[in-house]
Amino acid sequence: MYSRWYKTLVTVPPLAWVILFLVLPYLLLFSYSFFSVRSGTIVHHGTLANYSTLLHNPMYVSVLLRSLRIAAIVTVLSLLLAFPLAYYVSFHAGRRKDVLYQLVIIPLWVSYLVRAYAWKTILGGGGVLNALLQHLGFSPASFLLYSPFAVVLTLTHIYTPFAFLPLYASLEHIPRSLIEASTDLGASSWRTVRTVVLPLALPGAIAGATFAFVLSLGDFLAPLLVGGPSGLMISNVVVSLFGAAYDWPLGAAVSLCMLLLVLAIVFAAGRLEKRYGLS
Amino acid sequence: MLEVRAVSKSFGATPVLRSVSLSVARGEFLTILGESGSGKTTLLRIAAGFERPGEGEVWMDGTRIDTLPPNRRPLNTVFQHYALFPHLSVFENVAYGLRASRAPRADIALRVEQALEQVHLTGLDTRKPSQLSGGQQQRVALARALVNHPRVLLLDEPLSALDATMRRRMQGELKALQREIGISFVLVTHDQEEAMALSDRIALLHAGTLEQIDTPAALYRHPRTAYAAEFIGRTNLLRGLVRNHTATAGPFIWPLDSPDGEALFSLRPEHIRFSSAGAPPGAVRFEASVADRLFQGSAVLLTLQCPGGLRLTARVPDPAPPAGAHSFEFTPDDVVRIPVPAG
């Protein structure tokens, strides 16, 4: 048994941290979402006007829908890339396993900005891809940069490792004897993947999908750097509301909606993971 | 029907199997017996197709199968820890092989039920493996393999995860099941009692080589190597000589019609008894003191201190006389001569 003194010592600092840097800011955000702005100053007087704006101004709804769509596409693409990669590294890489695993991890050490800028260099008007196209005698393609396509590409590149890690972990936990049992019972490798590996990797896939979806839904740097006006996402709106527009109350309302959405997704994913996890 | 021909296998620089050959007859219960590291599991995995032999071949009914992947071999395996699919129900686990071979739907239901009845496990179709006891999981693993009507069933230490009572019960059921369906069983185990109780023949594996393959009785009564004599049951190994139809080992001398030379003799503890007036002619008598006793229920194991420093183990019925010096005897016919390997 630990002493009361020891228990207090280890619980108070993290609790204080959470209250100071998470609970208080959220409470502030929550109260700000009911204020309003009149002639450049924030009026501390309760109103639901911000939430009504969100519902009735089609701009916010359409940006939110676009963000959801981009996040969904990024999630699907990340999973499609991460699963074969994780499957290969976990089941067939043999001695190269550790090296390959590190190769997936290393990009995470490189600054996010560098990776996003890299795509700008590749996709841009004078970029690598267009230079190649011109060299081959084609006219440069302008849809590459400053488009939702560029955002999806960049986000997929950045968040695939996040989908990979939980998937890989769940594949590593599949007893290899199950694979042997499956082939012993006459199943082809494809059938084994479909009926044994995939169902058992489902919790990892759900966790990976949650990472990819939530992280890309809230991303604002990739749309800022490679998105252009047609590739703006909801976080860019929040940034501009808190910045140039100086409408903190509306920004707070948008943020809170996002927060609730993300919490709902994380909660639902947690439930799904439990349901499909090994009991 | 299943035939292993001169199979060798190394993992890296470590040889695991050295030119092992054996064949399994139709309807035979063959046990591959050995300690851990003897290569017995590797041999089974080569038959199943999870490992490729380094050298040698595996044949079945006139077809070479070591070149086929596991899913194309007409045999099925019961895995050591069952390897049941945790996300599938009992029914789906058993139906797995039938679905893989695209059996008709109506057939599947019927055959799964039959297989589950064969292993005495009915009414649990919808349970998940995690909701079953060890014995029940064992039965599912058996049914899942048998439902595919394999020509040979491979069993990798199937009973090692069960407690002693359950293990004995499953041994009986396994033997009965094998007799009932009449296919060949190849069982891998390190438990010599299990091997003795179940098998038609035992293949004793030691350090990657086949020591002896024989019926349990022959293996027990006529071990051909010192290892076989010591591994199967208990024995006293005596180093000695044969010259001019006379065997000498320690303080014992008896007539023996066997070629001259160095020899090892195996004398089972149960063949040593207290001397009695009605001893058969030719019995070898000796005086020894009881140094230690181990109660075993129906019998007592005695450690005998013989003249010349020799120690023997004797198994005598309980109750045994108190400690002290006694007169013992054995019959020379019970002593088995084991050839001394050259060098």
The predicted complex's ipTM stands at: 0.86
Chain B nearest-CA distance from A164, in A, is: 22
pLDDT in tens, B165-217: 989 999 999 999 999 999 999 999 999 999 999 999 999 999 999 999 999 99
The shortest CB-CB distance from A184 to any of B76, B87, B101 is to: B76
Instruction: Tell me, yes or no, whether B38 lies in a domain.
Output: yes
First-to-last C-alpha distance (Å) of chain B: 37
Rounded Cα–Cα distance for residues A276 and A171 (Å): 14
Rounded Cα–Cα distance for residues B43 and B91 (Å): 30
Chain B nearest-CA distance from A199, in A, is: 7
Please, which pLDDT band fits residue A38 given cuts at 50, 70 and 90? confident
- Domain hosting residue B87, numbered range: 2-225
A191·B100 Cβ contact <8 A: yes
Chain A nearest-CA distance from B167, in A, is: 22
Query: What pTM did the predictor assign?
Result: 0.85
Question: What is the CATH class of A58-275?
Answer: mainly alpha
Residue B207 backbone class (left: φ over 0; alpha: ψ -120 to 50; beta: rest): left
What is the Cα gyration radius of chain B?
24
pLDDT in tens, B76-96: 999 999 999 999 999 999 999
pLDDT in tens, A175-217: 999 999 999 999 999 999 999 999 999 999 999 999 999 999 9
pLDDT in tens, B300-313: 999 999 888 889 99
Q: Which residues of A touch B130 (CB under 8 A)?
A: 278-279
Domain count, chain B: 2
pLDDT in tens, B110-128: 999 999 999 999 999 999 9
- Are B255 and B210 contained in the same domain? no
**Section B158-164 average pLDDT:** 88
C-alpha dihedral sign at B77, B78, B81, B83: positive
Q: Which runs of consecutive H residues, i.e. helices, occur in chain B?
A: 40-48, 90-100, 105-118, 134-146, 164-181, 192-198, 216-221, 226-231
- Are B132 and B101 contained in the same domain? yes
Specify the pLDDT at position A279: 45
Chain B nearest-CA distance from A200, in A, is: 7
Structure tokens at B306: 């013989």
Measured between CA atoms, the residue of chain B closest to residue A277 is B87
Domain final position from B173, B205, B225:
B225
C-alpha dihedral sign at B160, B166, B168, B172: negative
Measured between CA atoms, the residue of chain A closest to residue B154 is A184
Measured between CA atoms, the residue of chain B closest to residue A176 is B83
The shortest CB-CB distance from B85 to any of A184, A186, A196 is to: A196
Q: Which residues of B touch A191 (CB under 8 A)?
A: 100
**CATH number of the CATH domain containing B281:** 2.40.50.140
A182·B81 Cβ contact <8 A: no
Give the closest residue to A101 by CA, choosing from A116, A87, A113.
A87
**CATH number of the CATH domain containing B178:** 3.40.50.300
- Which residues lie below 8 Å from residue A148, measured CB to CB, with a gap of 6+? A66, A70, A227, A230, A231
- Are B42 and B105 contained in the same domain? yes
For testing the chain B interface, which of A174, A177, A179, A184 should be mutated: the one with the most B CBs within 10 Å?
A184
- Are B202 and B181 contained in the same domain? yes
Q: Which residues of A touch B145 (CB under 8 A)?
A: 184-185
The shortest CB-CB distance from A184 to any of B48, B80, B81 is to: B48
Residue B126: exposure state from Cβ atoms within 10 A (0-12, 13-18, ≥19) = exposed
Instruction: Tell me, yes or no, whether B343 lies in a domain.
Output: no
Give the closest residue to B181 by CA, choosing from B265, B98, B119, B127.
B119
Q: Which residues of A touch B72 (CB under 8 A)?
A: 186
Distances (CA, A) of B340 to A276, B232, B256, B263, B264: 61, 18, 16, 6, 6
Measured between CA atoms, the residue of chain A closest to residue B147 is A185
